[in-house]
Amino acid sequence: MDDDTGTLPPKQDFSGWFNDILWRAEIMDVRYPVKGLYVWYPYGFAIRKFVYNRLRELLDRDHEETLFPLLIPEQEFMKEAEHIKGFENEVYWVTHGGTTPLDVKLALRPTSETAIYPMYALWLRSHADLPMKYYQIVNTFRYETKQTRPLIRLREITSFMESHTVHATWDEAEAQCEYELGLTKEFYDGLCIPITISKRPDWDKFPGADYTIAVDAIMPNGRTLQIGTVHHLGTHFSKTFSINYEDKNGEQQLANQTCYGISERSIAALISLHGDDKGLILPPAVAPVQAVIVPITIGKRHEDVLAAAKKLESDLKAAGFRVKMDTRDMRPGAKYYWWELRGVPLRLELGPRDIDGGKVMAVKRTGEKSSLELATVCDGVTRVLAEITEGIRAKAEEHTKSHLCSVDSMDALNTALNDGNVAVVHWCRERECGDAIEEKANSSILGTEVRSPYVAATDGKCIVCGKPGKATLVGRTY
């Protein structure tokens, strides 16, 4: 959709690379005439589709999908005090229908607690209705005053998956939080994205939650990106919205709730973590095109090669692979460049000599070449795609591991952050010490009680006061 003029900035200039890759690989057009709103190109939308299909599959194991309205009447939105405080500066308000002022202002959902919970109050009657586990994937809106960025900080979040569950007891809600963290791990593992899990400090939890567990990824520049959150809501909202049930003894009880969200930041992380100087690198599981076939039809064997390429394409399609054959009138080198930019994991080159030998050349987007037997090509492609996935995962794990840096002094903390790392410290979980850490290092406490295969979860002395503390992540965030 745009001319391929100039070249992609090197990945080391991450901010330039990210801005450029969005249009060069046809993910997103940033020229929409409202700040913070962007357009999904068909190719970007196809990536989104495969990513969200995976998410749906996971959620459908024990949730059901629903859809609630976008517009929330002011009186419902304003019911839960903490929640309002958290969102009141960020809410878009609809005030007019046509030229008529509305009797009741309508909020565009920034998140849907206040749209969903009045209905849950109607739906929940008895303990037999519990647990209730529903989710929706919707557009939500935040009037961001900070700098907006495509996929990362948006005014229209186009792809917000929000799950809202209801349980009889606090412990059951806690168990649900853990279950959903498990789903999240599985989801990101499928995208080859290593995550850290930690409990946000109290002052940074979701407005109206008992606690918030956050899932972060470490971006190429060492900044962290929050790519998922699970909130234990306790009875905050059930009190406000009267979400009660009759227990086995016939008594009314307040329900316990959780909510849980994942947005298109998942795709920001996907793109950013795996790409390289040549462009995107997509894990096969979510690549719209898993393999591109490039027939090398120079000379007079043109028809032979084309016929063999077509057979290869139909064999692979029949086996369920997402394959494209590129027969455009372009030099092979230009085609390679084009598909590499778009992150297609595997290129299959087929020329006269390959056919004669009953082979096809398989070139991984991640580097190596190998020759596959045409007779068993589906098995070969399965194997090579699995190797590509492992290669992508290993590289992302290496990156994450090398950017998690354990430190035990404030000076070392500063150095670690200035070197583009995320620091692991011990912290006593007192606000005063937390403030000291954040101010001194111009950073944020991401969370404590860290769970990551790369971080020792042992207790230690608080980096500020020396009292007993828990392993805690400190980083510079998006």
Q: Which residues bind a copy of itself (CB under 8 A)?
A: 1, 29, 31-34, 37-42, 45-46, 48-49, 64-71, 73, 76, 88-100, 104, 106, 108, 115, 118-119, 122-123, 129, 134, 139, 141, 143, 155-156, 158
| Smallest distance, a copy of itself to C-beta of residue 18, A | 20
CA–CA distances in Å: residue 425 to residues 146, 369, 416: 28, 43, 11
- CA dist 383 and 377 (Å) reads 10
How near is the Cβ of 43 to a copy of itself at its closest, in Å?
A: 8
Least Cβ distance, residue 202 to a copy of itself (angstroms): 24
Chain CA centroid to CA 259, Å: 17
| Single-letter amino acid code for the residue at 445 | I
441 residue type, one letter: A
Residue closer to a copy of itself (CB basis): 90 or 368: 90
Check: CB of residue 227 under 8 Å from CB of residue 184: no
Q: Is 8 buried (19+), middle (13-18) or exposed (0-12) by CB count in 10 A?
A: buried
The smaller minimum CB distance to a copy of itself, of residues 101 and 299, is found at 101
Closer residue to a copy of itself in complex, CB, 71/306: 71
The nearer residue to a copy of itself, 118 or 345, going by C-beta atoms, is 118
Tokens 């500063």 — which residue?
414
Instruction: Supply the minimum distance, in Å, between the C-beta of residue 27 and a copy of itself.
Output: 11
Nearest CB to a copy of itself, comparing residues 154 and 305: 154
3-state secondary structure 161-185: EEEEEEECCHHHHHHHHHHHHHHHH
Give 104 or 334: the residue with its C-beta nearer to a copy of itself.
Answer: 104
Cβ atoms of 245 and 252 closer than 8 Å: yes
Contact present, 344 and 292 (Cβ < 8 Å): yes
> In the complex with a copy of itself, which residue's Cβ is closer, 1 or 439?
1
Q: Which residue, 324 or 461, is less far from a copy of itself as judged by CB?
A: 324
Question: CB burial class (10 A; 0-12, 13-18, 19+) of residue 416?
Answer: buried
User: Least distance (Å) from a copy of itself to the CB of residue 476?
Assistant: 26
Write down the least CB distance from residue 101 to a copy of itself, Å.
10
Q: What are the structure tokens assigned to 200, written together?
A: 């946000």
Find the distance separating the first CA and the last CA of the chain, reported in whole Å. 29
Closest separation in Å from C-beta 383 to a copy of itself: 26
Q: Which is nearer to a copy of itself, 150 or 295 (CB)?
A: 150
Cβ pair 459, 447 in contact under 8 A: no
At CA 260, angle to CA 258 and CA 262, rounded to 5?
Answer: 175
Smallest separation, CB 30 to a copy of itself (Å): 11
CB of 81 to a copy of itself, least distance (A): 17
Q: How far is the CB of 93 from a copy of itself (least distance, A)?
A: 4
Q: What is the DSSP letter of 249?
A: T
**C-alpha 455, offset from chain centre:** 22
Nearest Cα neighbor of 150 from 34, 289, 9 is 34
Min separation Cβ 33 and a copy of itself, Å: 6
| Cβ 245 vs Cβ 168: under 8 Å | yes
CB of 211 or CB of 339, closer to a copy of itself: 339
DSSP run (H or E) holding 225: strand 224-234
Q: Which is nearer to a copy of itself, 68 or 179 (CB)?
A: 68
Residues 6+ apart with CB under 8 A from 405: 416, 419, 421, 422, 423, 424
Rounded (5°) CA angle 227-232-238? 130
